[in-house]
Amino acid sequence: MWVNMSSQIKSDEYLNFLLTRRSIRKFKPTAIDMGIIKKILDVARYAPSAGNRQPWIFIVVTDKGVKDKLAKIHRWAYPLESAPIGIVVACNRDVSPESYQVDCTCATMYIMFAAHALGLGTVWLQTLRNIEDVQKILDLPSNYIPVAMLAVGYPDEQPVAKIRKELKDIAFLNKYGASLQP
Ligand SMILES: Cc1cc2nc3c(=O)[nH]c(=O)nc-3n(C[C@H](O)[C@H](O)[C@H](O)COP(=O)(O)O)c2cc1C
């Protein structure tokens, strides 16, 4: 198939954009303009969701006291301490009982990529073993499940890409175990 040179360059840029996202755990103290955060969340509204039910809400955390409490829900949530902003993605379980976790994951990835596009770093922090703790800290009603929490800020580190599984071990043709290789 003939590919226009400039669209080929664009596709490579887009793919490279996806490949250059990294989890960032060390942030500069630089404040983030709320306009930028709103821009990111505005993009997240366009994430796919089952039946387009959009069961998510986004809680932006700027208050140091609240942020520090969230940073202590478990030992791997520490990146939130140095991040100027946290974003908690919570989903209304009643609106999408089968898919709320998947829907919220899509919205979270949109936030991560929109932040990446704007030069911000993020790291996803596990919340699913501490649902009640997060609900309590944020006054969330019990039907709102905090599916993800992100530390967001300008990166103060440049981590190398983590090792990935080989494509041959995870991608198959037509049935499990059948090689994609010609
Ligand atoms: C559901 C989920 C939970 C995660 N929880 C944590 C966490 O609690 N703390 C943390 O530092 N990183 C956490 N991560 C980030 C992963 O460690 C990271 O995505 C993975 O090591 C791959 O690195 P990369 O994002 O730089 O490609 C989590 C990621 C996901 C998707």
pLDDT above 90 for 181: no
**What local confidence, expressed as pLDDT, does residue 10 receive?**
86
pLDDT one-digit tens code per residue, 102-159: 999 999 999 999 999 999 999 999 999 999 999 999 999 999 999 999 999 999 999 9
Q: What are phi and psi of 23, to 5 degrees?
A: -70, 125
CA 159 to ligand 1: nearest atom? 26
How far does the centroid of ligand 1 lie from the alpha carbon of residue 22, in Å? 9
On whether the CB atoms of residues 153 and 28 are closer than 8 A, the answer is yes
- Residue at 49: amino acid letter: S
Residue nearest to atom 30 of ligand 1 (CA): 124
Reported confidence tier of residue 62, pLDDT bands at 50, 70, 90:
very high
- Residue from 117, 99, 94 nearest 43 by CA: 117
Ligand 1 pocket: which of 20, 22, 23 to mutate (most atoms within 8 A of CB): 23
Quote the pTM value: 0.95
| Structural domain boundaries in the chain | 23-158
The strand ranges marked E within 97-141 are 121-125
Fold held by 23-158: NADH Oxidase (3.40.109)
Pocket of ligand 1 (CB under 6 A): 22-23, 25, 76-77, 79, 123-126, 162
